[in-house]
Chain A
Amino acid sequence: MSTLAPRPSTQRMRQLLKTSCEIFQTVFNPDSVRTGNKVLRRKMKGPAVISYYPIESPVKFRHIRAAYPMFEFPNTADEHRVAMNELYVVMSF
């Protein structure tokens, strides 16, 4: 038959918890006081939000065309547009 040992006081238990937290590097908050740490814990999403739209390329098609005048760089979309417009001109006569 074991006799029940006297339970330590609440104060003593708190001290124990405090030292334990110091040793294991955890936060000491036995009364669950709202410190607002949950706000700080959240990740920052600024850079992810900014990077949604792609950055405008500093080099444009006309720059490449101007830099290498000996080469032909066909602008297919524009040529198609011009061809379609010419068709309209032809059709209107």
Chain B
Amino acid sequence: MVKKIPTPGCFVNTRIIRDNFKRHMAAEAETERKALKYIAYNMTVPVRARIQAQLKLATMPNYTRMNQPKNRCVVSGKGRAVLSEFKMSRHQFRMAAQNGELPGVKRATW
């Protein structure tokens, strides 16, 4: 039975769906990857097991890696210039901030 990954409630496009998929897969495989990495790094473990662990780690699919998910803009789906505090890209942030939708955000003057 294929497990369904929940659709995001924000703006949805292909890239966001792909990123969401990677996030879920990476989170699923996190324990396994951690265990394999531990075995590979452990010098008290026999060499053969270490090599096997390293190989298994290398052959795991790319979507299981924690560095694959990218913070995308939740309003436009843009992958670049995303402020992680607001989960928005710079233009969307600017629009929202000028509309007063972001609490405590105002033009910087000092």
- Contact: A33 with B43, CB < 8 Å? yes
**Residues of chain B with a CB closer than 8 A to A52's CB:** 23, 69, 71, 87
Q: Which of A38, A44, A50, A56 sits near B7, CB closer than 8 Å?
A: A56
Shortest Cβ distance from A35 into B: residue: B42
Q: Does A39 contact B (CB under 8 A)?
A: yes
Check B38 against A40 for contact (C-beta < 8 Å).
Answer: yes
Contact at B9–A53, with CB atoms within 8 Å?
Answer: yes
Interface 9-mer from B24-32, B89-97, B101-109: B24-32
Are A54 and B9 neighbours in the complex by a CB distance under 8 Å? yes
Residues of A within 8 A of B7 (CB): 56
Residue B86 is within 8 A (CB to CB) of chain A in the complex: no
Find chain B residues with CB under 8 A from A40 CB.
Answer: 34, 38
- A34 in contact with B8 (CB, 8 Å): no
Which listed residue (B6, B40, B66, B71) contacts A56, Cβ 8 A?
A: B6
How far is B66's CA from A59's CA once the two chains are assembled, in angstroms?
32
Size bin of chain B's contact surface: 20 to 34
A81 at the interface (CB under 8 A from B): no
Within 8 Å CB of A56, what residues of B?
6-9
Chain B min CB distance to A24 (Å): 22
A46 near B26: Cβ-Cβ < 8 Å: yes
Interface membership of A36, Cβ < 8 A: yes
A55 and B6 contacting across the interface, CB-CB below 8 Å = yes
Chain A interface (Cβ < 8 Å from any Cβ of B): 33-40, 42, 44-47, 49-50, 52-57
**Interface positions of B (Cβ within 8 A of A):** 6-10, 16, 20, 23-24, 26-28, 30-31, 34, 37-44, 66, 69, 71, 74, 87
Q: 11 other contacts beyond A36-B37, A44-B34, A49-B26, with CB at 8 A cut-off?
A: A33-B43, A33-B44, A34-B41, A34-B43, A36-B40, A39-B34, A45-B30, A46-B28, A53-B10, A53-B20, A54-B9
